[in-house]
Amino acid sequence: MGFPKDFLWGSASAAFQIEGAYNEDGKGLGIWDALSEGHIRLGATGNVACDHYHRYKEDVAIMKELGLKSYRFSISWPRVIPKEGVINEKGLAFYKDLVKELTEAGIEPMVTLFHWNLPMWMHEKGGWLNPQVADYFAEYAKVVVTALSDKVKYWMTINEPQLFAGAGYVDGGHAPFLKMPAMFGKITRNIMLAHGKAVKVIRENALLTPMVGMAPTGSAVIPKSDSAEDLEQARFETYEGDGPNGNAWWADPICLGILPEGLKKEISAEDLKIIHQPLDFYGFNIYTAQNFWTQDPKQNPALYDGMPRTGFDWAIKPESIYYAAKFHYERYGLPIIITENGMSNPDFVMLDGKVHDPQRIDYIHRYLLQLKRAVDEGVKVIGYQYWSILDNMEWTEGYERRFGLVHVDYQTLKRTIKDSGYFYAEVIKTNGENL
Ligand code: GCO
């Protein structure tokens, strides 16, 4: 059967990770700008990053050369709303120019409204701990939708609540680096309300009929075998295995209007009416299998020393994308968009001036074969966004983890398309027939 003819082949990024210009043209500071000193490898910052803010035309030209059909990027909330109630027109103008450049290049812009860099003014009002954050987020969403929805059709409200809520407010590994596990239920409620209110704002204000979703993490447990019993066990663990912060914790209220036990005391029936908004696709980010994040063979006997891993030490498990697409489609009944998938690799420009990355080519090839397997079995997959278009600022890891189809020399900011970029261009050109 193969991938549908209008499949949204694309690549993804996030504002803080590529834009730079952290304090330029009226942009306010976000928590990753202002609070991450001492938390990022080698003292790196996102102040310059890939300087995409100034080089976006060059970057879109590269995307066009690769033949991307779509491009998923995020809007910097502190760039657009630098202070409470203040709209930064120059910040909005950047995104209008970027969207214009993309559409003129024949590339579908896909916007993520929140990808972790919360404005400091909101953080100082309690951030995701403050129930009012949902209304502030809805106001921000309205400003962005009003500015961009004449050309933007695809919207994702929030990226990976599991990570920014879990790492940012429970284990303290991500900005704002807090450890408040007792507040996790309240934070979950506020994030879900923000999502629901933003979906309503998009539907009420978008000029182009919108396609709306989210971009949670969305990995799956790979079954021990394909027996019905093992498949059912893997499906159960995929949703219940991670407990609070697992797939069911976040997606069941949002997609099904069903509350997991741990949220019943936090979220009222009224709240749920706001949270459970109709969505047009189920987007999710996936890199490996849920049962392969551990490196302890006692927790997963299928693990073994020396198994294929990425530069981030993540197990390479292509079947994870098949099971995740299959399970999530069966459970939520929505068309699937892989909003992130990719691998980091210690890439560098070689003597011939090229970046040879056979590992990434093999990774993409294997994962797309597994995604095609799901498609051939009837799972409605409508898009795939490779993470990431450019090497970029990998949060607390700084610039050491290179995920890009395009290499960035951080001393000169020179871009070099990697071999994997040309491989992916051929996948897009043949609509996956070359796999
Ligand atoms: C995430 C974020 C991205 C990361 C990517 C690689 O999923 O953690 O969406 O910003 O950079 O996933 O870790």
Choose, from 340, 377, 400, 426, the residue flagged as catalytic: 340
Q: What is the pTM of this model?
A: 0.98
**Residue 96 vs residues 20, 58, 65, 124: alpha-carbon distances, Å:** 17, 16, 21, 29
Residue 267 in domain: yes
CA of 197 to the centre of ligand 1 (A): 24
Residue 3 in domain: no
Residue 289 in domain: yes
Annotated active-site residue 108? The verdict is: no
Residue 434 in domain: no
Q: Ligand 1, residues 74, 285, 310, 363: which to mutate, most atoms within 8 A of Cβ?
A: 285
pLDDT confidence of 403, banded at 50, 70, 90?
very high
Closest atom of ligand 1 to CA, residue 285:
7
DSSP string, 285-312: E-SS-GGGS---TTT-TT--TT--B-TT
Would you give the end-to-end CA distance of the chain in angstroms? 13
The yes-or-no verdict on residue 252 having pLDDT over 90 is: yes
Give the total number of structural domains in the chain.
Answer: 1
107-132, pLDDT tens digit by residue?
999 999 999 999 999 999 999 999 99
Residue 388 in domain: yes
Burial environment of residue 125 by CB neighbours within 10 A (0 to 12, 13 to 18, 19 or more): middle
- How many residues belong to the chain? 435
- 115: domain CATH number? 3.20.20.80
345-374: average pLDDT = 98
Choose, from 160, 232, 240, 394, the residue flagged as catalytic: 160
Q: What is the pLDDT of residue 132?
A: 98
Residue 1 in domain: no
| Pairwise CA distance, residues 40 & 32, whole Å | 10
Q: Which of 149, 144, 108 is nearest to 383 (CA)?
A: 108
Residues of the domain holding 113: 8-429
CA of 384 to the centre of ligand 1 (A): 15
13-19: average pLDDT = 99
The yes-or-no verdict on residue 23 having pLDDT over 90 is: yes
SS3 assignment, position 241: coil
Residue 347 in domain: yes
Residue 15 in domain: yes
Closest residue by CA, ligand 1 atom 10: 14
- What the block records as the tokens of 260 is 């997991």
Annotated active-site residue 340? The verdict is: yes
Q: Which of 263, 162, 141, 302 is nearest to 212 (CA)?
A: 141
Residue with tokens 């998009």: 202
368-387: average pLDDT = 98
**Which residues contact residue 333 at a Cβ distance below 8 angstroms, ignoring those fewer than 6 apart?**
none
Per the model's pLDDT, the better-predicted residue between 296 and 190 turns out to be 190
56-107, pLDDT tens digit by residue?
999 999 999 999 999 999 999 999 999 999 999 999 999 999 999 999 999 9
Q: Which of 280, 255, 254, 286 is nearest to 267 (CA)?
A: 254
pLDDT confidence of 242, banded at 50, 70, 90?
confident
Q: What is the mean pLDDT of the chain?
A: 97
DSSP, res 94: H
pLDDT confidence of 2, banded at 50, 70, 90?
confident
Q: Which of 360, 218, 240, 212 is nearest to 285 (CA)?
A: 218
Q: Ligand 1, residues 393, 395, 402: which to mutate, most atoms within 8 A of Cβ?
A: 395
**Which residues contact residue 36 at a Cβ distance below 8 angstroms, ignoring those fewer than 6 apart?**
45, 46, 175, 177, 396
Q: Which residues line ligand 1 (CB under 6 A)?
A: 14, 17, 159-160, 163, 285, 340, 387, 394, 403
